[in-house]
Structure 1
Amino acid sequence: MHSSDNKHTPMTPKAASIPQPLKSFSTGTIGTGEYGALTGFTQDQLLDNEFGPVSAVPQARRKKVIIVGGGINGIQQATVLLNDGHVGLNDIQIFDALDSYGGVWQKNKYPGCACDVPAMIYTTSYNINKNWTHFYAQRAEIEEYYYKFAVQYDLPKCTQFKSFVKACHWDEKLMLWHVAVANKFTGEVEHWLADVVCQCVGTFDRPKWGTTPGRENFKGVSWHTAHWRGDYDLRGKRVAMIGCGPSAAQIIPEIVDKTSHLTVYMRTPPVCIPRGDYAYSSLFKWALKWVPKFAWLVRLRMNLRMMKMGRKMATDGDPVNDAMTQQAIQFMESQIKDPELREKLRPKSKYYCKRPLHLDHFYSALAKPNCTVLREDLVRFTENGVLSSDSNTKIESERKFDVIIFGTGFNVAQFLEHEEVLGLGGLDLQHKWKEHPEALYGLATSQFPNMFYCFGPNSAHVWSAQQDSWERQARFVSKAVKEMVQRERKGIKFAMHPRRDVELEYNAQVQSRQSGTFVWARDDCVTYYKNDDGWNTFTMPWTWWQFRRMLRKIFWNQWEVIEKPLKICQF
């Protein structure tokens, strides 16, 4: 579907591939209570979502735009709004459950945490970071960049940290959102009002634990990689790592020498290629800071190269994809000499099927004498450790551990399940998204007026700077806010949400245009990009240029508009 299409025929979306072989992508997740508890909120703060009278809400808690999340998306959304000038700092309120800016880079503080996207691409187009020290950036550098970005725009003046947004209810009479915010500083649940809510919590925000039962039975120490226990000393400990995705693969080389023994439970071997990182020269860093347009040109060149090669690397059957797959196999074999371990680690899927890891020391860490790699089925967690079953013989074995680390990833199969969101007629967002989440352009869903997402369902890709796509979503939201402000000046209260038939058609094409093209849509590909029913919840098929064209303006034939005289909605 192109943005210029005028005719929309409702379609019944179908999954892009058969269901996942193992049920673990949209299950083993966490709800409001556990999500809040991970960042220190009490159970009492997370239970009640009842709102008091609107008249009791102080003026300071009535905003035109509430932004949920102070990470990359929240910062970009706020700064785009401020740059466009239709609202100011006093009209915006940002909430974040953490204690500073950075989002995923503030939350994930495990050893070795870094980005696998070149640093110059992993930056915002209108505020390019000129202080990168390496081709790839470490976590602390990224966090610092986005913190300074926020401060540059005075966002601390409109940001409240340690504040967990736990409910958003649409008020059809007053045409506004009631927002419940648990404030860790005061211990209270605050009632806020907003004309627009921007959900900028991202996708790598909600940890999942897998479906193996008995996690609560383990008497030792355990944690998820997203909530690293920096205060705990792993020296001399028997440690189990559950899972071997990107986070776990970064951690393993950092901790293996500290443990007395590290056991890695691996369901599917990762696809791993050399990282190839290097430090920028003094001359290059000087040019970034002082030569006009140099940083912009470097970023543009990298981005164009990524656009040229990214789709080829992700396309099933493309020679570039085949070559990258072979490179991953050769890299593994060059690092692993033991034949038995080689077979355990041999990639079973094609390059990009599960997002490749750019790592240099991962395989060598797994080959160390004090590390054991197991390709066994987890049965349950016990008081002392892990009970697992040999995939071939089905013989069960219990291994004892002092520490269990869950490298089980994040739930991208569902969105906002930790937040109670009620739209028109009291429709629960999670009820609407029971089978799978869907949104028009990954930024809005029908029946939920004036609620927008950044990095929502199916708005990821691997062939250009992701920040540029998020920026397009933020700029579209700014157009909607401009419309709201201008109509309000004319005495009209305004809200918008996608037409359901347009939303259905768009999402059907998001699925069908990936099926048979990209490696992650293969029936034999087990990836977090898809939920257990085979529905791709994560990626879109469009190029950046196509996506930009779709969002260049508001095509009103795609949207339902709600209007009321402003005086009726005043309180």
Structure 2
Amino acid sequence: MTVPEVKKNEQQEHAANWVPINEVPVYTPRKTTIVCAGAGYGGLMLAYKIQEELKCEDLIELIILEKNDHVGGTWYENHYAGAACDVPAHIYTFMFEPNPDWSSFYVGSREILEYITRTTKKYNLDKNVQFSRKITKVAWDNDTGKWHVSATDLTNSSTVGYEADVFVDASGVLNKWEFPKIKGINDFKGHLVHSVSWDDDHSYAGERVAVIGNGSSAIQIMPVIAKEASYVANLIRNPTWVSTGYAAHLSRTGRNFKYTEEEKRRFREDPAHFLEYRHRMEHEFNKFFYALFNDSPEQQAVHEQFTEIMRQRLNYDEELCARLIPDWKVGCRRLTPGDNYLECFASGQAELVTQPIDHIGEHSIVLTDGREIEVDAIIAATGFDVSYLPKWQTSGRKGASLEKLWADVPTAYFSVCAPEMPNYFIVNGPNCPIGHGSLLSVMKWTIDYAVAWTQKLAREDIKSFVPSAGAVADYNEYTQEFLKRTVWTSGCVSWYKKQGRVTAMYGGSILHYKQILDNIRGEDFEIEYRSPNRFRFMGNGLTNAEVEGGDLATYINK
């Protein structure tokens, strides 16, 4: 059925919000384009959402720009000795692709990359990925309601341009790295490597090696290098909690273990059993949040548990215990599970060095007390730039620069939207629940939220949406007040904080986060429409069912 058009009086004067009738059914979407930065877990989740879950490629064009020549993100880039995920493998998967064939309770980076690669191939998730494209500039054009994205083609150094209705930053937080700013580091004549730029061909057999840092990477690297090298020194600034692996109480050994072929066969052939196993694991994993409240019974319990575990692994050496067991609350900094790290010191395989570094010479590290440690290799496991500043130049509404807005303290809207950046989403942005619970679940819910907004934009004739300054301010103020209850404000030095504010953690559990993101909350946004009348999407007064001859009584049911 069609509705006849009404002849218009050319001489008639119209109100400022007058628009001609839009001759389409109500909520008819326009085609939109999403440009996404990154083909790691987040970008590939977005591809699956559009291609497989919604099957809406005819309405949403997706372009994923990936700086590397392969999918996988951090699991492609990080392949240092001992690189692994400290979250149980069965809850570190795409929700749509559980993997019954994980080899172990915790698995290494190469096995994770193989899984990501296999899943990508199975669902053709990389068909819209353009590899070796490094984004250099993202600029908003308010006249057209589009993002103009510039990228460098790393294969030939040419500049490539893109236009998008929506931009999604799924590039991740932990990938911008540089060597530590230590005097003389560039003068070192031996083997110098950062954990992210690992040289797989270099052998440390018989070498004298210095490992700088005691974060997750260093703790995984140390036991491997200690087996090869003739001498290993671990230079650290502060102690850290070396805990059991996440959800280790669900492991039958308390540590990592290999699944038997019989166990994997049952996972494959008994879906109900496999689902129950993964469900229980995720349920137990999410309960750790309660231990992150100051002085809660759960906090006291993990403090006592981890203290005893560290003392055992240090063979109750009181000097080592005093130097390596923190006096701040468990979880204030990121937990760093690691089998056999502490044992390196207890067994004499490695030396613990807590004296600060003064400078680095051609063949040695010189400490502030004058001691000189001769080394053949230096491994900098010193982390990343965690400022949340974008990896490209941004120009948002009215020329606003995200680099300048976030120069001091990054403030986002529920971690997913940035101030003054219309139609812009971030996966794992500021104040995201990344210190507890399943991060991949959080990433999926973020993608769901971004796609829901994209659909709203397309169906309701919206040009742009951006969180209001008031909403951003209110959210961050409330968040900081809640975070005072947690260990993240208890006094330790941590990348979770900047200028006294907790910038990395969400003010609630991940289930709380999901419930929030299940609602768009359009009232928190400034919305600009493509016409003077916000109700132009009402169209010609008909629905698709009426135009296409469908069921006109769907509301009559049992």
Give the TM-score taking structure 2 as reference length: 0.83
Is the aligned partner of 1:347 residue 2:326?
yes
Question: Does the 8 Å CA contact 1:89/1:155 hold for their aligned counterparts?
Answer: no
What is the one-letter code of the residue matched to 2:299?
Answer: N
Tell me how far 1:208 sits from its aligned partner: 4.4
Is the aligned partner of 1:73 residue 2:42?
yes
Question: Does the 8 Å CA contact 1:175/1:493 hold for their aligned counterparts?
Answer: no
Q: 307, 315, 318: which is aligned to 2:296?
A: 318
What is the one-letter code of the residue matched to 1:329?
Answer: T
Question: Does the 8 Å CA contact 1:63/1:93 hold for their aligned counterparts?
Answer: no
Counterpart residue number, 1:148: 118
Q: Which runs of 5+ in 1 are unaligned?
A: 1-61, 390-394, 567-571
Counterpart residue number, 1:541: 507
Give the number of equivalent residue pairs. Answer: 491
Is the aligned partner of 1:289 residue 2:238?
no
Question: Does the 8 Å CA contact 2:428/2:434 hold for their aligned counterparts?
Answer: no
Question: Does the 8 Å CA contact 1:115/1:139 hold for their aligned counterparts?
Answer: yes
Higher deviation after alignment, 443-452 or 543-552:
543-552
Distance in 1 between the 2:431 and 2:157 partners? 36
Question: Does the 8 Å CA contact 1:264/1:374 hold for their aligned counterparts?
Answer: yes
Tell me how far 1:242 sits from its aligned partner: 0.9
What is the one-letter code of the residue matched to 1:313?
Answer: A
What is the one-letter code of the residue matched to 2:373?
Answer: R
Is the aligned partner of 1:498 residue 2:467?
yes
Tell me how far 1:70 sits from its aligned partner: 0.7
Counterpart residue number, 2:28: none
| CA deviation map 1:380-435 (0-9, x unaligned) | 3333332222xxxxx3333232221111112223332x311110121111101111
Distance in 2 between the 1:373 and 1:126 partners? 44
Distance in 1 between the 2:398 and 2:66 partners? 28
Tell me how far 1:357 sits from its aligned partner: 2.5
| CA deviation map 1:486-542 (0-9, x unaligned) | 24xxxx452111111101111122222111x2222112x1222112x1221211122
Higher deviation after alignment, 151-160 or 212-221:
212-221
Is the partner of 1:114 in helix, strand or coil?
A: coil
Tell me how far 1:239 sits from its aligned partner: 1.4
Tell me how far 1:92 sits from its aligned partner: 0.9
Higher deviation after alignment, 292-301 or 428-437:
292-301
Is the aligned partner of 1:330 residue 2:299?
no
| CA deviation map 1:3-37 (0-9, x unaligned) | xxxxxxxxxxxxxxxxxxxxxxxxxxxxxxxxxxx
| CA deviation map 1:81-122 (0-9, x unaligned) | 332234359811111112211111111001111111111221
Q: Which runs of 5+ in 2 are unaligned?
A: 1-30, 246-254, 533-558
What are the residue-to-residue correspondences of 1:168-317 with 2, within 5 Å?
168-275=138-245, 276-308=255-287, 310-317=288-295
Tell me how far 1:462 sits from its aligned partner: 4.1
What is the one-letter code of the residue matched to 1:406?
Answer: A
Q: 1:69 to 1:114 in 2, by over 3 A?
A: same
Question: Does the 8 Å CA contact 2:210/2:379 hold for their aligned counterparts?
Answer: yes
What is the one-letter code of the residue matched to 2:292?
Answer: A
Counterpart residue number, 1:443: 416
Distance in 1 between the 2:372 and 2:433 partners? 40
Question: Does the 8 Å CA contact 2:480/2:501 hold for their aligned counterparts?
Answer: yes
Counterpart residue number, 1:411: 385
Question: Does the 8 Å CA contact 1:415/1:456 hold for their aligned counterparts?
Answer: no
Tell me how far 1:63 sits from its aligned partner: 7.4
RMSD of aligned Cα (Å): 2.1
Is the aligned partner of 1:158 residue 2:128?
yes
Question: Does the 8 Å CA contact 1:170/1:422 hold for their aligned counterparts?
Answer: yes
Distance in 2 between the 1:288 and 1:101 partners? 27
Q: 432, 448, 459: which is aligned to 2:432?
A: 459
Counterpart residue number, 1:18: none
Instruction: Report runs of 4+ in structure 1 exceeding 4 Å deviation.
Output: none
Distance in 1 between the 2:80 and 2:200 partners? 8
Q: 93, 96, 99: which is aligned to 2:69?
A: 99
Percent of paired sites with the same residue:
25
Question: Does the 8 Å CA contact 2:329/2:490 hold for their aligned counterparts?
Answer: no
Tell me how far 1:368 sits from its aligned partner: 4.2
| Greater relative contact order structure (CA < 8 Å, 6+ sep) | 1
Counterpart residue number, 1:373: 352
| CA deviation map 1:30-85 (0-9, x unaligned) | xxxxxxxxxxxxxxxxxxxxxxxxxxxxxxxx970111011111111221233223
Counterpart residue number, 1:473: 446
Counterpart residue number, 2:543: none
Tell me how far 1:463 sits from its aligned partner: 4.1
